[in-house]
Amino acid sequence: MPRPVRVTRKKLIARLDKVFSQWVRSKDADHRGYVQCFTCGVWKHWKTVDAGHFQSRAKFVTRRDEKNVKCQCKSCNGFRSGEQYLFARHLDRVYGEGTAMEVEQLSNTTKKWSTEELEALIDVYNRRLRKL
């Protein structure tokens, strides 16, 4: 009997990034599929916006933190480098004063996600997407 093919860690991360991005961009969509940019407030269809990060995607511990990742239009996320100052102000307004600092501090810690944890997160966000 052939052994099951093991998915590489890199592929699991890519799969998780994709499903998490879809969930972030679609979870707050209205009945027409439109979401509001977290930083500038413009309304766009969820398929045309980015999953913008307050703290860089390179900081793996907050890469998929739901407070760290919000819908952003292409202008804010790409052309204006994520509008980090406005992002921080809006985080504090929505979640309470000091939230941006907490997310920033968390982003400077380290965590290595196991294969099992990555697979579990993929399942969580796939289930959440199906519920939308």
Beta-carbon count within 10 A of 30 CB: 10
Structural domain includes residue 2: no
- Residue 132's pLDDT is 87
DSSP-assigned beta bridge partners for residue 51: 71
- Residue 6's pLDDT is 78
| % of the chain exceeding 70 in pLDDT | 96
Structural domain includes residue 4: no
Average pLDDT, integer, range 15-25: 97
Summarize pLDDT for 72-107 with one digit per residue, the tens.
Answer: 999 999 999 989 999 999 999 999 999 999 999 999
What confidence tier does 54 reach under pLDDT thresholds 50, 70, 90? very high
Residue 75, domain extent: 9-131
- Residue 12's pLDDT is 95
DSSP characters over 61-114: GGTT-TTTEEEE-HIIIIITTT-HHHHHHHHHHHH-TTHHHHHHHHHTS-----
Structural domain includes residue 113: yes
Q: 3-state DSSP call for residue 50?
A: strand
Question: Quick check: 1 pLDDT over 80?
Answer: no
Structural domain includes residue 3: no
Structural domain includes residue 74: yes
The answer to whether the beta carbons of residues 52 and 35 sit under 8 Å apart is: no
Structural domain includes residue 121: yes
Domain count, the chain: 1
Q: Rounded to 5 degrees, what angle do the CA atoms 79, 28, 86 make?
A: 40
Whose tokens are 């990742």? That residue is 69
Average pLDDT, integer, range 11-30: 96
Question: Quick check: 3 pLDDT over 90?
Answer: no
